[in-house]
Amino acid sequence: MNEQQLSYREALRLAIEEAMNADERVFLLGEDVGNYGGCYAVSKGLSETFGPDRIVDTPLSESGFVGAGIGAAIGGMRPIVEIMTVNFSLLALDQIVNNAATIRHMSGNQISIPIVIRMATGAGKQLAAQHSHSLENWYAHVPGIKVLAPATVADARYMLSMALKDPNPVIFFEHVMLYNESDINPAPEDCPDMHSALVRQSGEDISLVTYGGSLPKALEAARQLAQQDVSVEVIDLRSLRPLDTKTIFESVNKTHRLLVVDEGWRTGSLAGELCALVAENCFWSLDAPPIRVCSEEVPIPYPKHLEDAVTPQVEKIVNAVLGLLNKETVS
């Protein structure tokens, strides 16, 4: 066993480096990805290895460089586009939704768009409202693209590798609080595929479904609840489009309760979609209504105490589970 530690950030870099060594068509473009090494240092050092023709610094124009990536993909290249944050990706929404997601369909399956668009998401770094939102569900709403949200080092390493071999556009969300997380250097078998949800912890009393930066909080909540004799099954979605509903439904049919933890806002959330799917497909198995722990409906604040107050935290998750089970909550 290789006991060397690898960070989430390093895992992403390794996947990019491996793909670039294996295929000359792969290149990376985005703001400050070259000499600066990317805003979260994922591409640090790659410019020295591959040069400016393959690690391409772009102007501050998300629509422009995402569009350039889509054009390169149509032309037979395998671009990786880095967008600093999901908030800035909205400037490229037209390119992603109206071009990347539609061209295969509109061309009668004649044109593929093998592009991976990576972007940071989520709160926790005190970067305030223009850098900290969680808009994964906006993209998960759109047919024609795949949406991934790896939460572990192994998934960062190998789901990105799989995405880079996919013939279709993939949106790859990297939660900002995961970049410094580390684990034992994973093996390929630690990441079975990029489409399946995984049961990270087996349990009997309630299914806790989450993804991305909320997974560590969900696992900690499950650990604390175990001390109160509550057995929690924790499911990591990993892929937000397509959704692995089979794994979710099997879990809910076993535990008979569902809590979704989603850092997105509650209204119109991915959590709401999951609750609806479970209500439609597992209604007769449920012992209680499906519930959600989401971010409060305000722009993410800058002060740390307010940022923590409006986003899902371990205590909120624990109390939501206890409330659903009609147990006394933690003050």
> Which residues have a catalytic role annotated?
62, 131
What span, in angstroms and rounded, lies between the C-alpha atoms of 145 and 258? Answer: 27
What span, in angstroms and rounded, lies between the C-alpha atoms of 173 and 83? Answer: 10
Check residue 298 and report its DSSP letter. Answer: S
Question: How far lies 106's CA from each of 74, 76, 103, in Å?
Answer: 13, 18, 5
In degrees and rounded to multiples of 5, residue 329 shows phi and psi of -85, 165
Spatial CA neighbour of 175 closest among 120, 127, 241, 239: 120
Adjacent-strand bridge partners of 206: 232
Adjacent-strand bridge partners of 265: 295
Residue 40: strand, helix, or coil: coil
Question: How far lies 36's CA from each of 44, 46, 192, in Å?
Answer: 7, 10, 33
Question: How far lies 175's CA from each of 8, 54, 192, 306, in Å?
Answer: 10, 25, 21, 19
What span, in angstroms and rounded, lies between the C-alpha atoms of 179 and 196? Answer: 22
Q: Token digits for 135? A: 């808009």
What is the rounded (10 degree) CA torsion for 308, 312, 315, 318? 180
Neighbours of 239 (CB within 10 A): 22
Adjacent-strand bridge partners of 260: 209, 292
Amino acid at position 155, single letter: D
What span, in angstroms and rounded, lies between the C-alpha atoms of 113 and 29? Answer: 16
Neighbours of 266 (CB within 10 A): 14
Check residue 99 and report its DSSP letter. Answer: I
